Amino acid sequence: MEQPAIGTIAVIGGTGAEGSGFAWRWAAAGLDVVLGSRSAERGAAKAAEINARLGRPAVRGADNLAAAQMADVIVLSVPYESQAGILADILPALPGKTLVTLVAPLLGEKKNRYTPPPGGAAALEAQAQAGPEVTVAAAFQNVAAHHLTDPEHAIDCDVLVCSDSRAARDIAIALAAAAGLRGIHAGVLQNAAVVEGLTALLIAINIAYKVRDAGIRITGIPA
C-alpha cells in the first residue's frame, strides 16, 4: 500500500519518555521532527540529546505552540491531566491538520484499574475540544516507552489506530511503520475508549508478570 506523505511531525510533550522515544525512532527513520515542550529550552535540550545519539542534527526543539505551527502532523504525548490545557495552548496551530494522540488516561490512584474519563475517551475529548477542522487519530496508547530508544530491541506489539478519517488512520499507520511497528485499522475514534482502557490492563499484566512492556498483538489478519 502507498504510504501517505507525513511532512514535519511535532511531538507535543516530546521531552517525556513516550514522546521522545517515538521522536527518536521517527528521526532515525529520516522523518522531520520538532520536539514541543512547555519550555522552549527543555525542548531544545532534549532535541540536542537525541541529535547527539543520532550523530546528526535531525530534531529541533521549540515551545509547544511553535512546534505545532511548524508541523503538518501533531502528535500529542502529554499526561491526560494536562491534555485540555496543552491543547488550548496549541489550538491556533491545529485547523486543517491531523492530530495523533497517544494520551492514555490513567485516572485515580491505581494505574492498573481502568476508569473512563468524563468524555468517554481522551481522544474523543481531544476531538471535541479541537473541533471539526482538526482530524484526530488515536494510536500508540499501548506501546511501552521502556525500549523505544533501544535500536537493538524489537518492540513486540501492534499499534491499534482509531479515527473517523481513513486518511488520518493511514498517517498514524505510516508513523507506526516508521517506528518499526505494525499499525492496525481499528475503526472509528469512539473505539479509542477500548484502546485507552487496554493501557491500564497492560499495566496490570506488567505487575502480575513482573515485566515492563507487555503488549497487544492482533492475529488472524495478513502479516
Ligand X SMILES: NC(=O)c1ccc[n+]([C@@H]2O[C@H](COP(=O)([O-])OP(=O)(O)OC[C@H]3O[C@@H](n4cnc5c(N)ncnc54)[C@H](OP(=O)(O)O)[C@@H]3O)[C@@H](O)[C@H]2O)c1
Query: Which residues here bind ligand X, judged by CB under 6 A?
Result: 13, 15-19, 37-39, 42, 77-82, 86, 102-104, 106, 141, 143-145, 199
Smallest distance, Å, CB 2 to ligand X? 29
- By beta carbon distance, the residue nearest ligand X is 16
Look up residue 134 and give its three cell numbers: 482538526
Q: Using alpha carbons only, what angle is made at residue 136 by residues 192 and 186, rounded to the nearest 5 degrees?
A: 40
CB nearer ligand X, residue 4 or residue 206: 206
Hey, what long-range contacts does 107-111 have (CB within 8 A, 24 or more apart)? 107/80, 111/200, 111/203
Smallest distance, Å, CB 14 to ligand X? 7
What are the residues facing 59 on neighbouring strands? 33
CB nearer ligand X, residue 167 or residue 218: 218
Smallest distance, Å, CB 171 to ligand X? 18
CB nearer ligand X, residue 32 or residue 89: 89
SS3 74: strand
CB nearer ligand X, residue 31 or residue 160: 160
Per DSSP bridges, beta strands 158-163 and 8-12 are unpaired
Task: Tell me which residue has cell 484526530.
Answer: 136
Smallest distance, Å, CB 120 to ligand X? 16
